[in-house]
Structure 1
Amino acid sequence: MKLYKFKISGKTSVFKRSDQNGSNTYSYTLLTQQSLKGILGAIIGLKGYDNSGLSPLIMDQSLEFNEVFKNLKISIIPVFSEDNFMYYYNTRTNATGLANKKDAREGVSLLLREQWIVNVEYMVYLDVSLIEEKYREKLEHNLKNEEAEFIPYLGRREHFAKVYDFELVDGIKEEGKAFVCISTLPRADVNGVEQISKDSDDIIAFSEISPSSITPDFYHTFKEFVYTNQKVELNETDVEGQYYRVNEGTLCLY
């Protein structure tokens, strides 16, 4: 099977957690499934949150990229090194007087402390076989030529995303049930993990519950995803992801 492969990187990213709303905000550590669909939508010019009609004055209340990519299968591989995926806390001041009230007084400045993820890099694989041809062709053209209709960003528009190194690669169906998965994968697929590193300092084991899709009335649905450099054993049945071997190893498309 042919897969789209490309890289995404940025100096900073903020994928704000949706389960909080206060002066201290935190970010999902890794690129989420829903955010990646938004980036791809920006690349080919589909309507997103900023131009979706999320206003009482506009009747069209759809997220076009969500509909176009509803059958898209993706694989996200974080590229770790010593100086990336670091946490940074940025403090901003909102002095407009419109964002905070205190003791019935209006016009109080609001201090916002945000968690940023610094120096992020991902390798992404896509199975676009179920995407409508006109969108598939435009996506391939824009990825290949490093073009975008709208500026892609990593969570918010000041966190620019660089999308590059596109190529078409072959994926071969993985027949085994135990292997090292180089990408994130649904936690529900994993029956067990076997440690293969002799030194505990070499072990990476990470899990996060993050948005996987959004409903027509704009509620996120969530799944738990895991990433580890150890050998995983899949369930015998009820496996959500599709597992393929590429040059770098075995990955999960979900």
Structure 2
Amino acid sequence: MKKLISIDLKADLGFLKKPDINEGIYLTYNMMHKPVLLGILGAIVGLEGYREKNKLPDYYIQLKNIRVGIQPLQAKNGNFLKSVVEYNNSVGYASLEKGGNLIIKEQILIQPAFRCFLELDAQENLQVRLMDSLRKSEADYLPYFGKNEFSLWWHDFREYDYQPFDFTEDYVVTTIFMKSKEVIREMVQRKIILPFAMNGDEPKFMSFEELPVGFHEQLLQYEKRSFVYTNFTLGKDLRLEGLYQVQEQHGLIQLF
């Protein structure tokens, strides 16, 4: 039997490193993505991370089939505040730099927070143990938000009744959701061509980000999809996959 739960994850600072570098700065993803969330859950339940070269981490292998939904909290128009920090690295390859010191620049998230929905199998022992740990706010390993020094915490454990959405009416999705050709077509038909628009007293926004959804199991590289986060009302003819109506939750969530 499947159960849907959520927790609110928060941190003072976060760094969800992108694999590329831009103008000498290591950039961060704005949104939490699924592989990072699975890593956090793996730490909570005591699964190992990266131990062997050219091998996927244990937490990913054991948790990858859990469907998740990710909703940013307290993010202005879907974007968290960011800052760039600069520090010195004088160990390892950095000692080859002039003066034996390498200056590192990193973009970091300020007070990132997300409501994370998890669809767990109540007949699978590891997932039952994970649910129990989340409910009791217990962790085998200290979870962190991308870097060891950015510790995180969670609260507000909830369990929900939920059911697939039937597309009988227009709808709002409160989580990030995967962008598709149908989403783009909907934007064009509704003439949503600006990231921000006004509708009554509520400012409307739509943000996009390409995010990892898993790993290519041979290349050991991120597999990515484009995601949307918006408060626009979407037409019932736009049939997104994995949409669910959640008890006591305004709007819908997408599980992936």
Which residue is 2:113 aligned to?
121
Cα distance in 2, alignment partners of residues 115 and 136 from structure 1: 34
Cα distance in 2, alignment partners of residues 234 and 53 from structure 1: 47
Residue 48 of structure 1: how far off its partner (Å): 1.2
Q: Is the 8 A contact 1:23 1:110 kept in 2?
A: no
Farther off after superposition, 158-167 or 7-16: 158-167
Out of 136, 140, 164, the residue aligned to residue 145 of structure 1 is: 136
| 1:201-251, Cα deviation, whole Å (9 max, x unpaired) | 7122111001110123421101111100111247766x4433333322211
Residue 200 of structure 1: how far off its partner (Å): 8.6
Cα distance in 1, alignment partners of residues 62 and 200 from structure 2: 45
Out of 166, 175, 185, the residue aligned to residue 177 of structure 2 is: 185
3-state secondary structure, aligned to 2:126: helix
Which residue is 1:232 aligned to?
234
Residue 10 of structure 1 pairs with residue 11 of structure 2 = yes
Which residue is 1:24 aligned to?
25
Residue 199 of structure 1: how far off its partner (Å): 5.4
After the TM superposition, which residues 204-243 of structure 1 pair with which residues of structure 2 at under 5 Å, given as runs?
204-217=205-218, 218-233=220-235, 239-243=240-244
Compared CA separation, residues 18 and 246, structure 1 to 2 (3 A): farther
What amino acid is aligned across from residue 74 of structure 1 in structure 2?
V
What amino acid is aligned across from residue 254 of structure 2 in structure 1?
C
Farther off after superposition, 153-162 or 62-71: 62-71
Q: Specify every segment of 5 or more residues in structure 1 that has no aligned partner in the other structure, as ranges.
A: 56-60
3-state secondary structure, aligned to 1:7: strand
Q: Is the 8 A contact 1:13 1:156 kept in 2?
A: yes
3-state secondary structure, aligned to 1:149: coil
Which residue is 2:68 aligned to?
74
Residue 192 of structure 1: how far off its partner (Å): 1.6
3-state secondary structure, aligned to 1:162: strand
3-state secondary structure, aligned to 2:175: coil
3-state secondary structure, aligned to 1:179: coil
Aligned Cα RMSD in Å? Answer: 2.6
Compared CA separation, residues 45 and 200, structure 1 to 2 (3 A): same
Out of 153, 158, 165, the residue aligned to residue 149 of structure 2 is: 158
Which residue is 1:39 aligned to?
40
Which residue is 1:58 aligned to?
none
Residue 86 of structure 1: how far off its partner (Å): 0.6
Cα distance in 2, alignment partners of residues 198 and 236 from structure 1: 20
Cα distance in 1, alignment partners of residues 201 and 109 from structure 2: 25
* TM-score of the two chains, using structure 1 as the length reference: 0.84
3-state secondary structure, aligned to 1:113: strand
3-state secondary structure, aligned to 1:142: helix
Cα distance in 1, alignment partners of residues 132 and 213 from structure 2: 26
Cα distance in 2, alignment partners of residues 211 and 233 from structure 1: 27
Q: Specify every segment of 5 or more residues in structure 2 that has no aligned partner in the other structure, as ranges.
A: none
Compared CA separation, residues 19 and 133, structure 1 to 2 (3 A): same
Residue 72 of structure 1: how far off its partner (Å): 1.0
3-state secondary structure, aligned to 2:12: strand
